[in-house]
């Protein structure tokens, strides 16, 4: 049975060209980029070149990029780094604004800082179609606000937040404030499809992960605009401009740069068509609903709730048909709470439990979409027949 992979928001396969670019840096050019000898210098110049290429992609300076182990570390560093750097310099307790449906790498970091009494926090609820308006961020701003962190594309429902509008609004606010507000965005799910020019977006900090864009796992970056105060979280050597200690992940960084080079936004339209085909097909199943706006949406994301069919049971059935998808349903995550994303949007728990996320990718074909629609119809029918609720 040919398998169908529709979980590209979880991770993507490493592109063969990425793998080829990385290959020499494991055993052949294995040097430590901090070493003074030729082995080290080969690694150093490769890392420098990769950094320059990525800086071009982000329209920033090389020195504004901190390589990390991935999206979670980048998010943690952005929030903890800015808060720790500034908390002693402000009079009142610092205030951080985020959304209630952030990735846990952002959300839990802020919740922990709040629980430890380090910060005050505001969690903005998204609209029922999964969007955060610049106005609602503006309303949450207080005198002691020092950081706003709003994700670019939501990982579960794929809605696209107006990062540029939020960035411009904050920039305008900053002109009349005594103390600056810094703006971070988790762009992990956006990198493949949307504008990443940090000046255009008006962001001060931005997180990216390589394995979501056909690069290797274990490498990511945090863009930090010059002048943004940030305290390192990993202490040791002086790597990454003393902002993140640890020997550089040379093959990872080389692969990361290659993955970014291979991004082709002209393919967005193709994916969008497939996405809408899948949405239309699945919405023909009775008692189903699309979660999140269809217009302001990643071309890769389909998230649909099926009433009276449970998410994990759907996934297990899909897996038996060789189809890989995902769910924010309680039961899969091990915790019994329904998805914090869908709950934040005001979806009743019984609808959260039957949500399934399909995330398309470069390899997704039209025949696969049609097969999934057919299989899903049968699965939902079968599960509803088993259910005591009709």
Interacting residues toward other proteins by CB under 8 A:
308-313, 315-316, 319-320, 329-332, 334-336, 338, 348-350, 353, 383, 386-389
Least distance (Å) between residue 100 CB and other proteins? 19
Neighbours of 45 (CB within 10 A): 11
Q: Three-state secondary structure along 344-370?
A: HCCCCHHHHCCEEEEECCCCCCHHHHH
Angle between helical axes of 268-283 and 366-386 (0-180°, round to 10): 30
* Given the residues 331, 373, 375, 383, the one annotated as active site: 331
**C-alpha closest to that of 182 among 148, 207, 158, 209:** 148
Least distance (Å) between residue 287 CB and other proteins? 13
Contact present, 329 and 354 (Cβ < 8 Å): yes
By C-beta, is 331 or 375 nearer to other proteins?
Answer: 331
324 forms bridges with which residues in the sheet? 5
By C-beta, is 240 or 351 nearer to other proteins?
Answer: 351
E strand residue ranges, 32-165: 65-68, 95-99, 120-124, 145-149
Least distance (Å) between residue 84 CB and other proteins? 34
Contact present, 150 and 98 (Cβ < 8 Å): yes
Write the Ramachandran bin of 112: left for phi over 0, alpha for psi from -120 to 50, otherwise beta.
alpha
**C-alpha closest to that of 159 among 186, 136, 132, 197:** 132
Give the C-alpha separation, 114 to 379, whole Å.
43
Verify whether residue 60 is a known catalytic residue: no
Least distance (Å) between residue 313 CB and other proteins? 6
By C-beta, is 141 or 383 nearer to other proteins?
Answer: 383
By C-beta, is 76 or 329 nearer to other proteins?
Answer: 329
DSSP letter at 56? H
Least distance (Å) between residue 5 CB and other proteins? 13
Least distance (Å) between residue 101 CB and other proteins? 19
By C-beta, is 122 or 329 nearer to other proteins?
Answer: 329
Least distance (Å) between residue 380 CB and other proteins? 12
Distance set, CA 272 to CA 3, 15, 192, 276 (Å) = 22, 21, 13, 6
**C-alpha closest to that of 218 among 38, 14, 383:** 14
Which H or E run includes 376?
A: helix 366-386
E strand residue ranges, 119-188: 120-124, 145-149, 182-186
By C-beta, is 183 or 306 nearer to other proteins?
Answer: 306
By C-beta, is 135 or 319 nearer to other proteins?
Answer: 319
DSSP letter at 297? B
CA dihedral 137, 194, 376, 325 (to 10 degrees): -90
User: Which of the residues are catalytic?
Assistant: 331
């Amino acid at each position: 049975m040919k398998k169908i992979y529709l979980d590209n928001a979880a991770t993507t396969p490493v592109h063969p060209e990425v793998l080829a670019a990385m290959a020499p840096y494991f055993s052949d050019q294995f040097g430590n980029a901090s070493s003074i000898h030729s082995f080290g210098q080969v690694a150093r110049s490769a890392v420098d070149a990769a950094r320059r290429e990525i800086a071009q992609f982000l329209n920033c300076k090389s020195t504004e990029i901190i390589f990390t182990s991935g999206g979670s570390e980048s998010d943690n560093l952005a929030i903890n780094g800015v808060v720790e750097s500034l908390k002693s310099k402000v009079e009142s307790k610092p205030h951080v604004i985020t959304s209630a449906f952030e990735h846990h790498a952002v959300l839990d970091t802020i919740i922990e800082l709040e629980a430890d009494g380090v910060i005050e926090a505001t969690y903005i609820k998204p609209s029922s179609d999964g969007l955060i308006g610049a106005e609602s961020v503006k309303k949450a701003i207080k005198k002691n606000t020092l950081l706003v962190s709003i994700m670019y594309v939501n990982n579960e429902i794929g809605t696209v937040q107006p990062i540029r509008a939020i960035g411009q609004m904050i920039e305008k606010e900053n002109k009349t404030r005594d103390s600056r507000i810094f703006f971070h965005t988790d762009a992990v799910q956006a990198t493949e499809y949307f504008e990443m020019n940090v000046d255009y977006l008006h962001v001060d900090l931005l997180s990216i992960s390589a394995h979501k864009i056909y690069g290797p796992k274990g490498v990511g970056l945090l863009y930090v605009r010059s002048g943004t105060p940030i305290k390192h979280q990993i202490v040791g050597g002086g790597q990454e401009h003393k902002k993140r200690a640890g020997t550089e992940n040379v093959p990872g960084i080389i692969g990361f740069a290659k993955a970014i080079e291979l991004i082709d936004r002209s393919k967005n339209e193709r994916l969008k068509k497939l996405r809408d085909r899948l949405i239309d097909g699945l919405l023909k199943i009775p008692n189903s609903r699309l979660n999140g706006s269809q217009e302001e949406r990643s071309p890769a994301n389909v998230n649909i709730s099926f009433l009276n069919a449970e998410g994990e049971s759907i996934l297990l059935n899909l897996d038996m048909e060789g189809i890989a998808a995902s769910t924010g349903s309680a039961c899969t995550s091990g915790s019994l709470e329904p998805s914090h994303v869908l709950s934040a949007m005001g979806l009743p728990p019984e609808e959260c439990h039957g949500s399934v996320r399909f995330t398309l990718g470069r390899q997704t074909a039209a025949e696969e979409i049609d097969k999934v629609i057919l299989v899903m119809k049968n699965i939902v029918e079968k599960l509803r027949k088993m259910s005591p609720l009709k």
